[in-house]
Amino acid sequence: MNEIKALSFDMYRTLLDTRDFHEQAVREILALWAADSVNPDIFHTRWDEYYDVVHLEMPKDRFMTEREVAAESLRRTLNEFGIDGDAKAGVNIWMGKYGDADLYPEVEEVLNLLSERYPIVVISNVDDDDVGYGTFRGKNLPFRAIITSDSFKSYKPDGKMFREALSILQCRPEEVLHTGDSQRADVLGAKKAGMRAAWLNRRSDKLKPGIPKPDYEIISLRELLDLNL
pLDDT digits (tens, 9 = 90+) for 65-89: 999 999 999 999 999 999 999 999 9
pLDDT of amino acid 87 = 97
Among the three residues 75, 99, 123, which one is the final residue of a domain in this structure? 99
d(C-alpha 178, C-alpha 61), whole Å: 28
Give the total number of structural domains in the chain. Answer: 2
- Which residues fall within 8 angstroms of residue 111, CB to CB, at 6 or more apart? 15, 120, 141, 142
Task: Look over the chain and give the mean of its residue pLDDT values, rounded to a whole number.
Answer: 95
Please say if the pLDDT value at position 2 is more than 90: no
Which has the closest alpha carbon to 146: 4, 15, 5?
15
**Domain shared by 11 and 57, yes or no:** no
Q: Are 58 and 79 found together in one domain?
A: yes
Residue 13 placed within a domain: yes
For residues 79 and 124, state if they share a domain: no
Domain span including residue 40: 21-99
Rounded to the nearest angstrom, the gap between the alpha carbon of residue 78 and the centroid of all alpha carbons in its chain is 23
Q: Is 201 within the bounds of a domain?
A: yes
pLDDT tens across 13-61, in order? 999 998 789 999 999 999 999 998 999 999 999 999 999 999 989 888 8
Do 217 and 108 belong together in one domain?
A: yes
Residue 178 inside a domain? The answer is: yes
Prediction pTM value: 0.93
- Contact 3/229 with Cβ under 8 angstroms? yes
